[in-house]
Chains A and B, each alone.
Chain A
Amino acid sequence: MNRPRHMKTGTRLAIFGLFVALVTLTLAGFDQFGVFAAESESAVDAAASTGYGPAPKLTADDYPTIAGVNSRVAVWVFAQLHLWFAAFVLAVPIFVFIIEAIGMRTRDKRYDDMAYEFIKVTITAYSLTAILGGLLIFALILFYPHLITYLSTIFKESMFYYALLFFAESAVLYIYYYGWHWLQGGFKKWVHLTLGLMLNAVGTTLMLLANAWLTFMMSPAGVDAAGVFSGDAWAAIHNFLWNPINIHRFVANIAFGGSIVGAYAAFKFLTATAEKERAHYDWMGYNANFIAICALLPLPFAGYYLAAEIYAYSQQMGITLMGGIFAWLFIIQAVLIGTLFLSANYYLWCGMGRSDGAKRYTKYIKYIAIVLVGAFLVWFTPHTLVLTNEELKSLGGPHHTILGPLGIMPAKNTAVNLMILFTALSFMFYRRANKIATVSWVKAGNAVQVALYSAGIVNIMFLGIYHGYFTNTVYKVAASIPQVLTTLVIMVVSITLDSFIYRGAKEVGPLRWGRIPARAQYALFLLAVSFTWLMGLMGYIRSGIRQHWHVLDIMRDASPDAFTPTLGYAANVVSVAAIIFMAMVIFVFWIAQVGSNKTLPAGYWKE
């Protein structure tokens, strides 16, 4: 009896696939072979005849001062706010799409409701993103007119299409959101899912275009040493750091978006009065945290890739990044990422209280905690220690024989790999908490899991210690790739293996959503706040490593603000921006709720 339904699903799948193919093709053509290729040919001719000028050489007089505003801080704050909102509104549709698809597959309406709620609470954020983007571009035009003129001569086509794409983005978004309840069931649902995919495609394209402009400033391409544009727009877009930034931002956006909606769910959980409501928001918070962790785990690797590419592009920029003043920035970063890992783990542990079977695993939590904290301490031990004079004397110099080696890359790589691995382990325990495996080879399977983890940990430690202490400096970073591979292999193999072990497993009891302490919700807030602040900090370093250049080595920043600020100064700007962002997010969430409030004023209207 199931057969016809399957066939129908197959037909729908085919139509859906067609849509996907169409959208992909359109985008691919647009991006690489279509518009830009055509434009660039004509542009080459144009360059030959009319010619582009070199990048302007500016003096301090070329930067207007307006109403005593510090132009750099203004642009900085607007850019950061715009970026936070953009990251948020790009990330949410990605997992809304996935959740909607899961709902369609499992026919569990809870997923569909959750997906709708996610998109509902972010809808206002779209207009805020656009408003902040407008403010940013105004600030750039007002405060940095020559820079924006120069950039727009190179990126004129992409900037134009970027603006046009906003129409597409808004149109798709509004149909997607307002049509949610209309496009339900059967074929309509597939149309709706396709709209979700299109929304993501347009959103991602927008991000890719904007990324091209900023990576051009870091690794200019398509121009000569004086900044004369060759006319090849694709070369300027497809510059050296474009893809590394694309990947890093894409993954980080998902983690960030997950953490923000997690905070939303946490707040709703805390203020909920009905038991059912608490259960719903607990479940929503869990899913948000799950999304955030899934994206958080590969993020360090994306970061390494980006840093390695920055090194490869310009060794000088790489050294600026990892040494000197920015070396201390990575200590702050370590503190923040450590906070993220700890709070995400804490949330998982608290969540074990939902299941009656968790007691079997809670005894391991303290060991996980010891490893996490230990690895974290290694990770944030700075290379240059701050010593008092007495300590200096007692050590006989600033070099610490024991702690010194913890400050260098092999130790830190080892630590971060262990942190990732043990977070995965926390998650595995959580998944197992409510299940009892029924397959015959449980013991063997568990033994393999233990062996797998042990071997992996030994391998990571060995690589770290061997490369950290026993090889020439030239080889010190060589350990990172095998370590990362070890971590990835363990995670993939153990998750696959576990899904086989627990195939057809019986449940200990029903999961009691809502049975979680309020403290755990604060872990979600901590996750969201730390993520926001961390993004701001890393935005500062990404922009800051250009130092006194608008466009690296091509267009010099001659403004009085060309100096690189201290970390404290940057942290203060980031903090103020983060507070503004948080206030705006609260507004966004509040306005989403207002829509469903009704006041019945007695005796106000004529009867």
Chain B
Amino acid sequence: MRQFLAVVAFTLLTIGFFAGYSNFGIPQIEPAPPPKEEKLDLSSMTMDQFIALGERLFNGKGTCTLCHNALGRAPMLGTIADAVPKRLKDPRYTGEAGDIEEYLIESLVEPSVFVVAGFGKKGTNDTESPMPDVSGGSIGLSEAEVAAVVAYLQDSGGAEVTVEIPQDIDEEGDDEEEGEAREAVNDPKKLMAMFTCDACHMINGVGGDVGPNLSKIGANRDRAYLRRAILDPNAEIATGFEADMMPADMGEQIYVKELEVLVDYLAGLK
């Protein structure tokens, strides 16, 4: 029995030594906690993670690399910082973007606004792009995913990343809404009524006076200004009016097509 106890004591001592050395003999480094799953939680994402998400979408779900690859089926995207400003000035450019970010978003959902020479659909003389709208169809990138891809394109193309990480976007909810989406409205007057613009803005004697009178807005404001004023109303406030009066979520309610209809209409008011 004495031998048995001695052996037990020896064993416990040995194990105790190993445990003690592991606890006190070496520094205790706390490993970093597991990384957050980026897709589930945009709000806690850093720009690096957001760009990485964009890269994965670019290579994966977005199916971009099917064509934008070394085989030359589509233009390579490594020189965006240099190329986009030139394209914006190109007479063949039919879009409305003012900077690289807008251009990239526009080119993802409306690829035909500018077609790089030689990459257009056959027979259209480079006026129509073979690229699909990435927000629709089988690709179906959400707004946040498009933003991530743009962030990645800006980052990899050498441009400054200006995209902001969208906050509080419930992606699944978005999908459902789009599922039962309303038809786009083509009549600017109906749009004005739908978004109740006339509650505050007066056009040709009809409407309120909380916001500026829009009867002759097309005479001294260009389309880019109008678009921005709708999407980001606080960017510039007309003299004599207060900020934060106009709803800032127009961009989430209005369709791109409708926006264009509305801008066309307003620009024509002279």
Touching in the complex, A and B, CB below 8 A?
yes
CB-based contact B18/A571 at 8 Å? yes
Min CB distance B198 to A, Å, is 47
Cα-based distance from A557 to B27 in the complex (angstroms)? 27
Q: In angstroms, how far is the closest chain A Cβ from the Cβ of B75? A: 28
A322 close to B (CB within 8 Å):
no
Q: Which residues of A lie under 8 Å from residue B14 when comparing CB positions?
A: 525-526, 529-530, 533
Asked if B243 is an interface residue, CB under 8 A from chain A, the answer is: no
Binds A, one of B28-36, B62-70, B260-268: B28-36
Give chain A nearest CB distance to B266 CB in angstroms.
46
- Which chain B residue has the least Cβ–Cβ distance from A326? B31
Q: Is A564 an interface residue (CB 8 A)?
A: yes
Q: How far is the CA of A522 from the CA of B33 in the complex (A)?
A: 42
Least CB separation from A328: chain B residue: B26
For the complex, give the distance between the alpha carbons of A392 and B37 in Å: 40
Within 8 A of B (CB), among A549-568: 556-557, 562-568
Q: Which of A47-55, A424-432, A572-580 contacts B (4 or more CB under 8 A)?
A: A572-580
Complex: how many Å from CA A143 to CA B69?
Answer: 45
Interface positions, chain B 1-44, Cβ under 8 Å from A, are 3-4, 7, 10-12, 14-16, 18-19, 21-24, 26-31, 33-35, 37
A388 to chain B: which residues have CB within 8 Å?
Answer: none
Given contacts A328-B29, A564-B31, contact A336 B7 (CB under 8 A): no
Interchain CB contact (< 8 A) of B27 among A324, A328, A582: A328
A568 contact set on B, CB distance < 8 A: 22-24, 28
A495 at the interface (CB under 8 A from B): no
Complex CA distance for A508 and B19, rounded to whole angstroms: 45
Task: Contact check, B12 vs A579: say whether CB atoms are below 8 A apart.
Answer: yes
A165 touches B (CB below 8 Å): no
Q: Chain B residue with minimal CB distance to A583? A: B8
Contact of A578 among B15, B22, B26, B31 (CB under 8 A): B15
Contact B10 A386 (CB under 8 A): no
Q: How far is the CA of A548 from the CA of B23 in the complex (A)?
A: 23
List the A residue with the shortest CB-CB distance to B39. A57
Q: Is A332 an interface residue (CB 8 A)?
A: yes
Q: Give the interface residue-count category, chain A.
A: 35 or more
Q: How far is the CA of A28 from the CA of B92 in the complex (A)?
A: 69
Looking at the complex, which one of B3, B27, B29, B30 makes contact with A270 (CB distance below 8 Å)?
A: B3
Expressed in whole angstroms, the Cα–Cα distance for A403 and B22 within the complex equals 22
> In the docked arrangement, what's the CA distance between A78 and B16, Å?
21
Within the assembled complex, what's the spacing in Å between the Cα atoms of A568 and B23? 4
Give B175-211 as 1s and 0s: 1 = Cβ < 8 Å from A's Cβ atoms: 0000000000000000000000000000000000000
| A270 and B22 within 8 A (CB) | no
Task: Write out the residue numbers on chain A whose beta carbons fall within 8 Å of the beta carbon of B30.
Answer: 566
Interface centre among B11, B22, B31 (most CB of A within 10 A): B22
Q: How far is the CA of A390 from the CA of B16 in the complex (A)?
A: 31
Verify A529–B15 contact, CB threshold 8 A. yes
User: What number of B residues sit within 8 Å (CB to CB) of A?
Assistant: 25
Known: A557-B34, A562-B34, A568-B22. A386 touches B27 (CB 8 A): yes
Which B residues are CB-close (under 8 A) to A565?
31
B residues less than 8 Å from A267 (CB atoms): 3-4, 7
- Beyond A525-B10, A530-B14, A568-B22, whether A563 also contacts B27 by CB under 8 A is no
Residues of B within 8 A of A332 (CB): 18, 21-22, 26
Give the complex CA separation of A578 and B7 in angstroms.
15
How many Å lie between the Cα of A573 and that of B23 in the bound state? 12
Q: Does A325 reach chain B (CB closer than 8 Å)?
A: yes
Q: A529-B14, A529-B15, A579-B12 are in contact. Are A571 and B31 (CB under 8 A)?
A: no
Given contacts A525-B10, A579-B12, A582-B11, contact A548 B26 (CB under 8 A): no
Q: A177 vs B52: C-alpha distance in the bound complex, in angstroms? A: 61
CB-contact partner of B33 in A270, A525, A563, A574, under 8 A: A563
Q: Which A residues are CB-close (under 8 A) to B27?
A: 328, 386
- Chain B residues with Cβ below 8 Å from A547 are 31, 34
Tell me whether A331 is interfacial, beta carbon within 8 Å: yes
Least distance between B4 CB and chain A CB atoms (Å): 8
CB A544 to nearest CB in B, in angstroms, measures 9
Which residues of chain A are near B11, meaning CB under 8 Å? 525, 529, 582
- A331 and B10 in contact (CB under 8 A), knowing A557-B34, A562-B34, A575-B15? no
Contact present for A563 and B31 (CB under 8 Å)? yes
Q: What residues on B are CB-neighbors of A27 within 8 Å?
A: none
User: A566 contacts B7, CB within 8 Å?
Assistant: no
Chain B residues lying within 8 Å of A270, measured Cβ to Cβ, are: 3, 7
Q: Which of A332, A522, A570, A571 has its CB near the most chain B CB atoms (within 10 A)?
A: A571
Q: Nearest-CB distance from B59 to chain A (Å)?
A: 11
Shortest CB distance A527–B (Å): 10
Of B7, B16, B31, which one neighbours A525 at CB under 8 angstroms?
Answer: B7
Q: With the chains together, A565 CA to B30 CA distance in Å?
A: 7
CB of B15 within 8 A of CB of A271, answer: no
Judged by a CB distance under 8 angstroms, whether A279 is at the interface is no
- Flag if B15 contacts A331 (CB, 8 Å): no
A271 and B4 CA atoms in complex are apart in Å by: 8
Q: How far is the CB of B268 from chain A (nearest CB, A)?
A: 50
Would you call A235 an interface residue if the criterion is a C-beta within 8 Å of the partner chain's C-beta atoms? Answer: no
- Nearest B-chain residue to A544, judged by Cβ: B31
B19 contact set on A, CB distance < 8 A:
571-572, 574-575
Does A299 interact with chain B (Cβ within 8 Å)? Answer: no
Chain B residues contacting A331 (CB-CB under 8 Å) are: 26
Contact with B along A302-338 (1 / 0, CB 8 A): 0000000000000000000000110010011001100
Q: Is there contact, CB below 8 Å, between B22 and A548?
A: no
8 A-B pairs closest in CB distance: A571-B22, A548-B34, A568-B23, A564-B31, A575-B19, A325-B29, A529-B14, A270-B3
- If A328-B29, A529-B14, A570-B22 are given as contacts, then 12 extra A-B residue pairs at C-beta distance below 8 Å, sorted by A number, are A324-B31, A325-B31, A563-B33, A566-B28, A567-B22, A567-B29, A568-B22, A568-B28, A571-B23, A575-B16, A578-B15, A582-B11
User: Can you report 18 A-B residue pairs in the complex whose CB atoms are below 8 A from each other?
Assistant: A270-B7, A271-B3, A324-B31, A325-B29, A332-B22, A332-B26, A522-B10, A525-B10, A530-B14, A530-B18, A533-B18, A547-B34, A548-B35, A565-B31, A567-B29, A568-B23, A575-B15, A575-B19
Chain B residues packing against A (C-beta within 8 Å):
3-4, 7, 10-12, 14-16, 18-19, 21-24, 26-31, 33-35, 37
